[in-house]
Structure formats: structure tokens, C-alpha cells
Structure 1
Amino acid sequence: MHLPYYLGLLENSEKQLTEAFEYVANHHHDEPDIEQMCQKLSAWSREHHGKVQGFVEKYSEEKSNEPSKLKRDLFAEPRSSSLALLRDLHDLWLLVQEVQLCWVVIQQAALGLRDEELKACYAFCSARTKRQAEWLLSRIKQAAPQTLLVAE
């Protein structure tokens, strides 16, 4: 069974997303809505990470190291231009998309296993992940014109 692999990938991705939201909140504290929302969305991902850990333990046959070896080049170095916020939101959106896709894969496994607890976890967490993506996309749309069209 390869479910433990995807659970590990999801767990790692939620952890990275938590850290990325915290990073953006700390680096863009001059934007009150960014700081507050990123802190809130980080807390959601932290909670999701905790929920997934129980399923990693439940379905773990042998621990796969591959998910923990994944390295992100996103947020590789601090950005300081007016483009920084837009690029950081873009990177967050990419991470959220990875998490969202992992949840879709996990849902299919939950359906196949008839695991009601995993299905409920999927429903709760994937709905929040969708909201994370929607907020990021709307904030990107808001920031893009000013960032791309107005000279520094």
C-alpha cells in the first residue's frame, strides 16, 4: 500500500505551508491584512498537519523518507522590492495547490478504504485549503496592477 507515502507528502506539505504563511506574515507586517490573514491561515495548516499525523501513524507500514527529502526553492531568499509581496503570495499559492492536490488523492484513498474518519478529515481540511487558495488568488489580483504597472 502506498497511502503512507501520500500521507507523508501531505503532512510535509502542510508543515511547509504553515511555515511559509508565518514567513510571509513576518516579512509583510506593514500590510495589516497580510499579517493577520497569513497568521490565521498558518494556524489552519498547523491544525491540518496535526490531524494528518494521526493517519500517518495509523497507516504507516514502514516510514518512507522521500516526502521529508522534498526541498522547496520557494522563498529561497528574502525579497525587498515592491515585487516582493506579489512573489511571496504567488509562492504561497503554489504551495496551497500542492496541498490541495494531496487532499484530492487522500480523498480517493479514503473512499476506497471506506475510512469514515479519513473522509471527515478530508472534508474539513480540504474546504479550508480551498479557502486559503481563494484568499490568496483574490489578494494576488488586488496586488498585481499596482505592483506591475506603477514604477518604484
Structure 2
Amino acid sequence: MHLAHYLGLLHRAQTNLADAFRQVADAHADEPDIRHLCQRQAERCDAHAERLRPFADRYAEEAPAEPDRLHSELFGGTRTGGLGLLRDLQDLYLMAAECDITWTVVGQAARGVRDRDLIETVRECEGETAIQLKWLRTRMKQAAPQALVVAD
């Protein structure tokens, strides 16, 4: 059973997204909403990662050796200025999208093994990830005119 691999991938993706949200919060603290909302999103990602722990333990014994390159690197660090903020938000969006589709895949597997607890965890966390994606998309729409049209 390879479910443990995807649980590990999702755990790592959530942890990396939390770290990236914190970096963006610190790098763009001069933006009124970024510091606070990115910190809140990081806490949400940490909670998601923590909620995966019992399932990773449950399915780890059945996992074969870790496949190569299961994890991807999407965030290379923060940038400065308005354009930097826009690019950082776009990176966060891509990372959150990776989490979103991985929640979907894990949810399908949870249905396959009839794990009601995992199904419920996926349902809740997938919904919160969708909210993160909506916030990031909205914030990018807000940042884009200033960053792309108005000269620095």
C-alpha cells in the first residue's frame, strides 16, 4: 500500500507551506494584512500537518521503501517590493495547490480503505486549503495592478 507515501508527501507539503507563509509574513510585514494573515495561514498548515501524524503512523508499517523524488521544491525564498510580493503570493498559491490536489488523492485512498477518521480529516483540511487558495488568489488580484502597472 502506497498511502503512507502520500501521507508523507502531504505532511511535508503542509510543513513547507507553513514555513513559506512565515517567510512571506516576515519579508512583507510592511503590507497591512500580509504579516497577520500569513501567520494565521502558517498556523493552519501546522495544524493540518499535525492532524496527519496518527494516519502516517497507522499506515507506515505497510509502506514499501520511499520512492525517489516524491517531494517537489516550489519555494525558493522571498523577494522584495510590490512585484516581489506578487511573485511570493504566486509561489504560495502553487504550494497550496499542491496541498489541495494531494488532499484530494489522499481522500480518494481513504475512501478506498474505508478509513472514516481519515475521510473526515481530509474533508475538513481540504476545505481550509480551498479557503487559503481563495485568499491567495484575491490578494494577488489586489497586488497585481500596483505591481505590474505602477512604476517603482
Range class of TM-score, shorter chain? over 0.9
Contact 2:3 2:109 in 1 (8 A): yes
SS in 1 for 2:80: coil
Tell me what 2:3 maps to.
Answer: 3
Measured in 1, the distance between the counterparts of 2:107 and 2:67 equals: 21
The count of aligned residue pairs is 151
Contact 2:86 2:147 in 1 (8 A): yes
Report how far residue 36 of structure 1 moved.
0.6
Q: How does 1:24-43 map to 2 (within 5 A)?
A: 24-43=24-43
Aligned partner letter, 1:7 = L
- Encode CA deviations 1:2-30: one digit per residue, 9 max, x unaligned: 10111111011001011010111111110
Contact 2:28 2:34 in 1 (8 A): yes
Tell me what 1:113 maps to.
Answer: 113
Report how far residue 114 of structure 1 moved.
1.1
Measured in 2, the distance between the counterparts of 1:102 and 1:67 equals: 17
Counting aligned pairs with the same residue, the percent is: 40
Measured in 2, the distance between the counterparts of 1:110 and 1:78 equals: 35
Q: How does 1:125-144 map to 2 (within 5 A)?
A: 125-144=125-144
Contact 1:8 1:67 in 2 (8 A): no
Contact 1:9 1:68 in 2 (8 A): no
**Distance change (3 Å), C-alpha of 1:148 and 1:99:** same
- Encode CA deviations 1:101-151: one digit per residue, 9 max, x unaligned: 000001101111111100110111001000000000000000001100011
2:83 is aligned with 1:92: no
Aligned partner letter, 2:53 = Q
Q: Which sections of structure 1, spanning at least 5 residues, go unmatched?
A: none
Measured in 2, the distance between the counterparts of 1:35 and 1:63 equals: 41
Tell me what 2:71 maps to.
Answer: 70
Measured in 1, the distance between the counterparts of 2:84 and 2:68 equals: 28
- Encode CA deviations 1:51-79: one digit per residue, 9 max, x unaligned: 111111100124754588735252x2442
Contact 1:26 1:35 in 2 (8 A): yes
Measured in 2, the distance between the counterparts of 1:135 and 1:144 equals: 14
2:14 is aligned with 1:14: yes
Aligned partner letter, 2:73 = R
Contact 1:12 1:67 in 2 (8 A): no
**TM-score scaled by structure 1?**
0.92
